[in-house]
Amino acid sequence: MSFRFPDTFLWGGATAANQIEGAHTTDGKGLSTSDVQPYGSFGELRSRQTGDFNIKDIAIDFYHRYPQDIQLFSELGFSCFRLSIAWSRIFPKGDELEPNELGLAYYDKIFDELEKHNITPVVTLSHYEMPLHLAEHYHGWTNRTLIGFFERYAKTVFERYGNRVKYWLTFNEVNVTLHESFTGAGIPRGSDQQTLYQGIHHQLVASAKAVKLCHEMLPEAKIGNMMLGAVQYALTSHPDDVFEAMQQNRDWLFFGDVQSRGYYPSYMTRKFKELGISLNITEQDKQDLKETIDFISFSYYMTGCVSVQKNTMSQEDDVAFKMGTNPYLESTGWGWQIDPKGLRIVCNLLYDRYQKPLFIVENGLGAVDKINENGQIEDDYRIQYMNDHLYQVGEALQDGVKILGYTCWGPIDLVSASTAQMSKRYGVIYVDRDDQGNGTLQRIKKKSFDWYKNVIASKGENLTPPADK
C-alpha cells in the first residue's frame, strides 16, 4: 500500500477515567461501580468496607499529572484524545438534583490543557463507571428511573462543555452488558435474560435521549455510540457454522442496529419470542429511539471462531467472551488472538451495514514490557501490532469506508479493565507502577513512542505491508 491518510483524519489515543485518574474520592467524587471491582471487570466484586487494595484508587494519577501527560500526547502529534467523564465526579450518587461543581471544574482544566495543545477531545459519557449508588439502590439499568438521571447528567455536561467538545459517545462498549452485566450496566450478576434485556432497553433509550439533547443543544457537535467490535467467523464452511456465526454477530450488531436505524430489528423480535422475553417498550420509547446517532465508534482487539460441531472455545482466563480459537492466528499472552485483517473486515461490515462514518476508538496490544539495562523499552511487538492494524485501516479507507479517526488504547500505560493489572501494558508511554502499587509513577517513552509519532507525522505513509501479505 502506498497511501496517505486524509488530512482530516484524527489521530490520537483513548483512555477511561477509572483506569487513569485515580483520586477516587477527591473533590467530592462518589464511588463508582469500578471502585468495587479490585480484580477487574470480570473479577470478584468486593465491598469498600473490607479495605481491599484497588490499584485504580490511584491508577496512574492522571488526576494530578494531566499537564505532563497531555504534553506527551502533544509531542506524539495527537489531533484528538478520547477520554471519559467520570459520572460520579459530576453526580456523586447519580440521583442528585444539582451537580458537584468541583467535579465540573476538574474537566474544565482538562479541556483547557487540551486546547493549549490543539488536541480535540472525544468524550465518552459513561465508560464502565456508573455511580455505585445507582447500582446498589436502583439495580442499575433495570430501573427505568435511571433514564432521567442520565438525561440530567448529559444535559449538565453538554451545557458546561458544549462549546469545547465536538465529538461525544454515549456508552462505552454498550454490548458488553450481555457478558458482564455489572460492569456494563450496574445490573446484578446472574440476572435472567428478561431482566438483562429490559435493562439494555432502558440504556438504549437513555442513549437516544442523550443523542436528542446533543442535537438540540449542540447542533455543530457529532454524537455516536460505542460497541465492542468482536466479529465471529465460521470455523468451517458447514452451513450450520455459517448460520451460527451470523447469529452470534447479530448479538452485538443489534446494538448498532437500534441506535443507527431507530428501531428493533426483526431478528430480535424472534429471539425475544423464543426466549420468552416480553419487554416493556412504551410508545414514548419508540419515539425516543428514532433519534439516531451520527457515527459508529467501536473498539477492536480480536476476532473469534464459531462452530456448532465441537467445542472450540478458548480456555485463557482473560478471554472474557469465550470466543472460539482460530487455528490460523497467534495469540497475546492473555489469549487475545491477533487478527489485523479482521479490522478491515469489521470496518467494511459496519460501513456496508449502516452507511455512517466510523471512528476506531480503541485498538492496542496488552503485553509485558521490560526496561532493559539502558533504561529503554524495546517494544517491537507493539510496533508490529500497530503497524499491521493501521495498514488495514488504510486498506479500508481505500475500500471506500469513511473513517473519522483512530485512537489507540491506551497511549499511556493504564490499569487493565478486565484484570486490574498494570503489568498488562498497552501504552507507548511507560508508567513506573506495578500490580501491587509499587513504583514512582515516572513516565518513560517506549520505542513505539517515536514510531507512532512518525506514523502520525507522515499520515501513515511509513506504514509497511504485513509480513504475510
Q: Report the catalytic residues.
A: 173, 362
Half-sphere exposure of 2 (CA within 13 A, CB side): 0
Residue that is written with C-alpha cell 457454522 in the block: 241
What are the two backbone dihedrals, phi and then psi, of residue 234, each rounded to the nearest 5 degrees? Answer: -75, 130
For 31, 82, 225, 402, 454, the CA distances from 12, given in Å and listed in that order, are 29, 8, 18, 17, 13
Query: Rounded distance, CA 29 to CA 33, Å?
Result: 13
The identity of residue 442, as a single letter, is Q
Q: What cell does 30 get?
A: 462518589
For 205, 206, 315, the CA distances from 147, given in Å and listed in that order, are 7, 5, 37
DSSP secondary-structure letter at 230?
A: -
Q: What cell does 436 get?
A: 501491587
Residue that is written with C-alpha cell 467523564 in the block: 85
> What distance lies between CA 353 and its chain's CA centroid?
21
Reported as type and span, the H/E element at residue 123 is: strand 120-126
Query: Rounded distance, CA 273 to CA 255, Å?
Result: 18
